[in-house]
Chain A
């Protein structure tokens, strides 16, 4: 996960962005608030209002616009997928434009398709805006100290997850080694599977050794643990939560007022 921090350096503007002052635990809450209510409805008004408001707040995140676009690219590319499926298979309603086997393109399905596409964007943005610059250690500190999740689990998972960076070098060597063994010409899928398997073996082995090292440093003992880095909540956190609640309230109420609010499955 250090790859996150390395990327930060190229994406950050020079002053300390306001969102950095928000505790990572609050960011998790914010992402939940910004996503769950939207799941209740599929309509283009609530989704686009949410997207608009979130984009307006994006300067607070400290990301450069190009970095935001780069991270948002998968969302932008795949959002239409959900849309097309909805376009072709939603329950029919209103004027019918096309009918082919199971496929029924109708007013209803078009409306839903557009709404779902924008909704995918609204659901994907918060993660990008809030988590691009989060340090996993800070998140772990917050989860243990503030939400009081068991530290054995939080820190054990943090330590194991750190190994992400090590895999990249192994992957490159694995690929070169297969060329050297005469296996580089054919069978991409087979090669991929074989490399993935070796990676898993390495991962489990390293994890087992890491667990021993952690236990040797007294981890997992029943006594009370202290924290070298305090994790605290402050005004910025309160503001962040309030802002997200306001965004959601605004998005949902404009949908109700516009008459487009529709509960899923209605």
Chain B
């Protein structure tokens, strides 16, 4: 290998592989754990609202759920590989369940459904689009995933059309804003600290130094 191996920018873009590197795997786990911790801490704040609101109102409890949907959006935006959104959300759910919360293993089922919702959005965009609108859509997708699962898991199918319609609406809005917009802003803030230098998401945001 004695010849120069300069690669032109277009070639570099093409070689941007969808294969998982070790650093992708480890950071997915780290993000999952960190978001799991945040979920667990939000449980105390958000649960009170969720408990109060969902116990008493027809479905508006869904508004606070958004933060729990953040993991999938973050995973997809930072790692940008197939399965990242699903993995981060699921790991976050597992961590949250293991530390100890009210819902035990069902947290993990929620994580899977929510992560899948976000993942499908990124997949539909062929893992090429990671701006604000994809983030919002992914957040809403996660919300939809949660809604679908809870029809069976929380028995929401028994609660009639009005409840479920309002619940879906508040989940979509919450997901879009608290997960989508917040997630997108968070990734930009992270990139500007330089912590994402090994990822395309970090290099896109920084100026050439």
Residues of A within 8 A of B (CB): 1, 4, 31-32, 35, 39, 42, 71, 74-75, 77-79, 81-82, 84-86, 88-91, 102-103, 112, 116, 120, 123-128, 131, 152-153, 156-161, 163-164, 167, 192, 196-197, 199-201, 203-208, 210-212, 214-215, 219-220, 264-265
Cβ-defined partner of A201 (8 Å) among B54, B151, B190: B190
**Cβ B22 vs Cβ A84 within 8 A:** no
Query: Which residues of A are found within 8 Å of B153, using beta-carbon distances?
Result: 39
5 A-B contacts (beta carbon < 8 Å)? A35-B109, A102-B162, A116-B155, A124-B105, A153-B20
Closest 9 A/B residue pairs (Cβ): A160-B29, A156-B25, A78-B102, A124-B104, A207-B30, A265-B157, A211-B23, A127-B104, A84-B55
Min CB distance B182 to A, Å, is 10
A180 and B22 CA atoms in complex are apart in Å by 38
Min CB distance B104 to A, Å, is 4
A88 and B103 CA atoms in complex are apart in Å by 21
**Cβ A211 vs Cβ B22 within 8 A:** yes
A82 and B47 CA atoms in complex are apart in Å by 12
A175 and B97 CA atoms in complex are apart in Å by 25
**Cβ B30 vs Cβ A74 within 8 A:** no
**Cβ A85 vs Cβ B55 within 8 A:** yes
Query: Which residues of A are found within 8 Å of B196, using beta-carbon distances?
Result: 204
**Cβ A112 vs Cβ B158 within 8 A:** yes
Total A-B residue contacts, Cβ distance less than 8 Å: 188
Cβ-defined partner of A102 (8 Å) among B55, B163, B198: B163
Interface residues of B in 104-143 (CB under 8 A from A): 104-106, 109
**Cβ B104 vs Cβ A75 within 8 A:** yes
**Cβ B152 vs Cβ A157 within 8 A:** no
Min CB distance B2 to A, Å, is 26
**Cβ B157 vs Cβ A204 within 8 A:** no
Cβ-defined partner of A75 (8 Å) among B20, B47, B98, B102: B102
A130 and B29 CA atoms in complex are apart in Å by 23
A112 and B154 CA atoms in complex are apart in Å by 11
**Cβ A157 vs Cβ B105 within 8 A:** no
